[in-house]
Structure 1
Amino acid sequence: MKKSNYDAIIILLSIFFNAHLSHAQSPNPEALSYENPSAVGMDSLFIHSKVDSIMNFAIKEEAFPGAQVLAAKNSKIIFHKAYGFHTYDSVQAVSLTDIYDLASVTKIMGPLPALMKLHDEGKLDLDAPFSTLWPKWNNRKDKKELTIREVFAHQAGLVPYIIFLQEVMKKNGSVKNRFVRHEPSRRFSTKAYDNIYIKDRFKNKIYRKINRSKVSDIKKYKYSGLTFLLYPEIISRLTGTDYETYVTQNFYAPIGATTMGFNPKTKNYQNKIVPTEIDTLFRHELTKDWVHDENAALMGGVSGNAGLFASATDLAKMMQMYMNYGSYGGKRYLSEATVKEFTKVQYPENENRRGLIFDKPDLNNHELTLADSYPAPSASPDSFGHSGFTGTFVWADPQTQLVYIFLSNRVYPSREHANIYKFNIRSAVQQVFYDSLID
């Protein structure tokens, strides 16, 4: 697309979407709106030619069938473009309003804002034992002394992951009738997928296995998603409100993130939902409208590790709020001190790059080549975000005031498709926006 044509589209988007993007009654400099790259000191022609080139290459190499890229600078969306199709049959083109399965991006969009708010309210002491949040760990010798800070920073030595699907599957590939039914009933009301219902008490089995999981004696960076299966229950207990209701009422609804939520099949969204993997093991069809992650599915689609769906613009609102250190559109959601603490590297002396739940750049990222960096080499040490297994990525950089959203379904048709990693596509696109900054 020629630059002049794109600029014309940006003007139209500004007219139609600016009012929609801001939930405030009057224009607010914190709320996102559309603008041309040149208005915020970025080279528009460079951005379009470079991003188009990378994305077209990625689709040709089957890194994903389609994707979309959004970038905002100084609270202005200066680039938002869709590429390719939902699947390789090229039937449904990707749209700017499409909703994606966020996978692990859920971690910073679901439980994280709630946990930060609880910290603001004095209900969560980062240096207290995690057992103050999850009392069952008081009875576990290897867990009772683990602090919340250690757990949040992936410094606690917890097991990375437990595949709970193995608990409901027989060796011959069929499901265990005592855990899975194809019709709902009083004891089987937890819906994992169309015509798949999980025993309601299976959640307790998940909790028990997490409680009994091993802990490493060595304290070093070791990514673990286990406690994210506990956070919905913890948040519900501490707030007296259902987890999904709590994050929706306190964050998604007031910030205007109208497509952000769990189990989108039940939400009657007008937006198209991009499918993920052709599941030959559990669902036996193309996974669409329901969460891809099996652990989140066994939790009924509402979890802290995965399960959240959203559009690019709604993700941008949340990331802009974080980049503003807790405020958006004239409303404060979190204290500045809390957001700064959570987005800070916690254990650099231990070669751990992580913040509190937030991911951070590699500690020597600026010294690395694009092929080896995470994320883009020019991302500042103050920047933060998270990636998702399905091919999603969100990042914010307070130093340059850049928000970057990348959404794809790289797991289609199979999770074995790994060219998005081989070619470091998400970081390569992100680097373009840094390189486009005009001194």
Structure 2
Amino acid sequence: MFKKVVLRILFILFCFHVASAQLTYDSPESVGLNSNDIQTQVDSIMHYAIIEKAFPGAQLLVAKKGKIIFHQAYGYHTYDSIKKVALNDVYDLASVTKITGPLPALMKLYEEGKIELDVPFSKYWTDWKHQKDKKNITLRELLAHQSGIKPYIIFLNEALKKGKIKRRFLRTKKSKRYSNQFYKNLYIKNRFKHKIYRKIKRVKADGKKEYLYSGIASLIYPQVIENITGVSYQKYIQENFYDPLDCTTLGYIPMHKNFKNAIVPTEFDTIVRKDLTRNWVHDENAALFGGVSGNAGLFSSAEDMAKYMQMLLQNGSYAGKQYFKPQTVKEFTRIQYFENNNRRGLGFDKPLIGNDTLSIKDSYPAPQVSSESFGHSGFTGTFVWADPKHNLVFVFLSNRVYPSRTHRNIYNLNIRPKLQQVFYKALKD
């Protein structure tokens, strides 16, 4: 009897160790894969993508069973072929911010009973209390894009008149009232965010309760998190997640952090910045919040993104620290409204329903990913995905918006699903 108890304890300790493992580098062969086959296929896809100007450069990191089995860089920062992509380069994550910034904070507050998924969100965002079309929308509906709120508002239009900057909102010199930095020589009026909140108060929800992707609510999550915790949003996520995970590059406003890492440029902005956007957030709405927003604004290296996704893959545990209860991760990463043909989890994206029956051209992401898998993509050309069933983390970083967001061959050529498919076809388990 005593021997059985000891064996049971040892088994539990072993399971805990595996579940809270820390990423290490190893070869594809260490997990039963053929490195030559993988290398040949990835090289081919990446080189073709660069030739076809899907992006000037990119990097790919894949981890299997807690081991980083592939991490390579391709191409250059720009098409002038001057600066090669390096493995520690930092990228503008764009909408991947949604699952790496406000979402872990909301998950933690939910776990602590400080925020509820199925009560009217107007309980936490009182601007909506008397808005008939929004007063009963829940956080679950918002996170699953089931709220009916319109997809996007270009708030930059409020700061421009006939394409020229309104001086009452944007200044070239920092001051007490203009301390939020929009770009290297531009400062946004501190109270401009309240103008954004007023427009969000009036934004329409169609009441249809069906899938409609909207990034509007993510703009207000940081303020909600601050209101509930009494701590600044940046400090809260830094202290609760990024610092303990040792994600040294993951964060907002990288220009202020004196990184040795190069920060990959995004788009040449012909409207306001009149410059190649480098070191500052690409998304204009996030820039209007001084670069700190729930919809965009985070920057990261591939390694730091892999740590974060591995933690989620391991049911909220990493390197011996438990960040979330397993049931919290499972709740947020499951499909919420399957009956409405809405594939989304809570904040997390999911494979298309019936994805495994689709061709690589029609699938999202690769047809071989499991239904338990989850992740998110970003407008700048980023994509992160975790698959618990196959114990696989996939991190792809690029600047496909260089020199212009009109470059869409990353989608037209199905580059990311094809890269992902390489590793799934190589799996032996």
- TM-score when normalising by structure 2: 0.95
Report SS of the residue matched to 2:129: helix
The reply on whether 1:330 has 2:309 as its aligned counterpart is no
Gaps of 5+ in 2: 1-16
CA distance in structure 1 between the aligned counterparts of 2:256 and 2:45, rounded to whole angstroms: 35
Residue number in structure 2 paired with 1:232: 222
Q: CA deviation at 1:217?
A: 2.5
Deviations 1:378-407 (A, max 9, x none): 010000000000000000000000000000
Deviations 1:86-127 (A, max 9, x none): 000000000000000000000000001000000010011111
Counterpart secondary structure, 2:150: coil
Shift of 1:282: 1.0
- Correspondence for 1:223: 213
2:308 match: 318
Cα distance change of structure 1 residues 326 and 83 upon mapping to structure 2, 3 Å threshold: same
What residue number does 1:125 align with?
A: 116
In structure 2, what is the equivalent of residue 411 of structure 1? 401
Counterpart of 2:91, as a letter, is: Y
In the alignment, what sits opposite 1:301? Answer: 291
1:135 aligns with 2:126: yes
Alignment of 1:195-234 (within 5 A): 195-234=185-224
Partner of 2:181: 191
Residue 237 (structure 1) shift: 1.0
SS in 2 for 1:345: coil
CA contact (8 A) 1:64 1:412 kept: yes
State the number of aligned residues. 413
Given that 2:20 and 2:314 are in contact with CA atoms closer than 8 Å, whether structure 1 keeps it comes out as no
The whole-number CA distance in structure 2 between the counterparts of 1:183 and 1:29 is: 48
**1:254 to partner: Cα distance:** 0.3
Q: Aligned residue for 1:242?
A: 232
1:344 maps to 334
110-119 or 36-45, larger mean C-alpha shift: 36-45
Q: 1: distance between equivalents of 2:221 and 2:259?
A: 26
- Report the equivalent of 1:58: 49
Q: 1:179 aligns with which of 144, 169, 176?
A: 169
Match of 1:279 among 266, 269, 273: 269
Structure 1 window deviating more from structure 2 (141-150 vs 382-391): it is: 141-150
Partner of residue 411 from structure 2, selected from 415, 418, 421: 421
Partner of 1:10: none
Per-residue CA deviation, residues 22-67 of structure 1 (Å, 9 max, x unaligned), is xxxx999611001111111212111101000000000000000000
What letter is aligned with 2:92? D
SS of structure 2 residue aligned to 1:386 = strand
Find 2:74's aligned residue among 79, 83, 94.
83
Kept in 2, the 8 Å contact 1:101–1:307? The answer is yes
Show structure 1 runs of 5+ residues with no match: 1-25
1:434 Cα deviation after fit: 0.2
| AA at the equivalent of 2:152 | Y
Q: Give the SS at the match of 1:184.
A: coil
- 2:11 equivalent in structure 1: none
Given that 1:370 and 1:377 are in contact with CA atoms closer than 8 Å, whether structure 2 keeps it comes out as yes
Partner of 1:17: none
Q: After superposition, give the CA deviation of every residue in 1:288-330 in whole Å (9 maximum; x if it has no partner).
A: 0000000000000000000000000000000001111111011
TM-score (norm 1): 0.93
User: Which amino acid is the alignment partner of residue 296 of structure 1?
Assistant: A
Q: State the alpha-carbon separation in 2 of the partners of residues 398 and 319 from structure 1.
A: 10
Please give the alpha-carbon distance, in whole angstroms, between the structure 2 residues aligned to 1:62 and 1:301: 28
Q: Distance in 1 between matches of 2:118 and 2:207?
A: 19
TM-aligned CA deviation for residue 136 of structure 1: 1.3
Residues in 1 aligned to 2:239 and 2:38: alpha-carbon distance in whole angstroms? 37
Give the equivalent residue in structure 1 for 2:62.
71
Q: Distance in 1 between matches of 2:322 and 2:34?
A: 32
Distance 2:124 2:257 in 1: 31
Q: Is the 8 A contact 1:102 1:390 kept in 2?
A: yes
**1:144 aligned onto 2:135:** yes
The reply on whether 1:31 has 2:27 as its aligned counterpart is no
Q: 3-state DSSP class of the match of 2:72? A: strand
Q: 2:107 aligns to what?
A: 116
Q: Provide the residue aligned with 1:15 in structure 2.
A: none
Partner residue in 2 for 1:23: none
Contact 2:19 2:315 (C-alpha < 8 Å) held by counterparts: no
Cα distance between partner residues in 1 of 2:45 and 2:240: 38
Other structure's SS at 1:380 match: coil
- RMSD across aligned C-alpha pairs, in angstroms? 1.1
Per the alignment, residue 7 of structure 2 pairs with none
- The answer to whether the 8 Å contact 1:43/1:437 transfers is no
Identity %: 60
SS state of the match for residue 248, structure 1?
Answer: helix
Q: Is the 8 A contact 1:275 1:288 kept in 2?
A: yes
Q: Does 1:395 align with 2:395?
A: no
- Preserved contact between residue 68 and residue 82 of structure 1 (Cα < 8 Å): yes
Counterparts of 2:406 and 2:231 in 1: how far apart (Å)? 39
Matched, 1:374 2:364: yes
